[in-house]
Amino acid sequence: MDVRLDGRTALITGGSKGLGLAMAAKFADSGAEVAIVARGAEALAEAERSIAKSARTRVRAYSCDVANAAALDKTWRTVIADFGKVDILVNNAGTSRTGTFEDITDDVWQADLDLKLFAAIRLARLALPAMKERRWGRIINVLNIGAKAPRPASAPTAVSRAAGLALTKILAGEGAPHNVLVNAMMVGLFATDQHVQRFKRQGGNVPIEDHFREMGTRIPVGRIGDPEEFANLACLLVSDAGSYVTGTAINVDGGLSPVL
């Protein structure tokens, strides 16, 4: 099946590294124009260069802290001025911050909700009216399998991601009559920069490849995921080929989650 996104414009938050970068590259390769949004200007510039090497469509990078409402609104207006529209919104910004419940302060809770939940709420609020008017839109909320099956010491991430599940279902129900389809993709373990940096902070003293292989032993398929595998499914969901899928949360985890 040849999945194409010709004529579509996508905005991807957290688009400079990892899964966000993989989706941006895949969407561009499939014919979409792509706006990638993240905080780090240097990483954004490198991401824009790497995608532009093979893309035949416009790819532009925007430095923005999506947890800041005013900055997010300004960036949205700039993207619309540059591209004219956003057909596809991927809410991918976030971290996997966790801790023991009693140690999590109000400030930590608020920062996590601002980054992972309110950024998605605000962007969806900005994107929905025009998507409904054009009678075509796609929104993906990138969440975590812990939202369905939270473990001890998995807050605040599991809580903010669980709220993202509820948001997904609400948006899907309201968007469906207008051909605006909204789904969640539940992340398992992938070979991303986030895991590399965490490994370094923990003082890992073996090659990262060995660390990733050890991580893979916990997963039924026997390995961690490649970001491109995540991007392939995302591309299907935001294309016309995914036109009957909405309001669902798909585990992309090699069978790791204990629940469907």
Q: Where are the domains of the chain?
A: 9-187+226-251
Report pLDDT for 205: 79
The burial class, CB within 10 Å (0-12 / 13-18 / 19+), for 104 is middle
Q: What is the pLDDT of residues 31-81, one digit of tens each?
A: 999 999 999 999 999 999 999 998 899 999 999 999 999 999 999 999 999
Contacts of 173 (CB under 8 A, 6+ apart): 247
Mean pLDDT of 204-218: 89
Q: Does domain 9-187+226-251 fall into CATH 3.40.50.720?
A: yes
Report pLDDT for 224: 97
Q: What is the pLDDT of residues 85-142, one digit of tens each?
A: 999 999 999 988 999 999 999 999 999 999 999 999 999 999 999 999 999 999 999 9
Residues in the chain: 260
In the chain, pLDDT over 90 holds for what percent of residues? 90
Distance CA 174, CA 90 (A): 18
CB atoms within 10 A of CB 118: 17
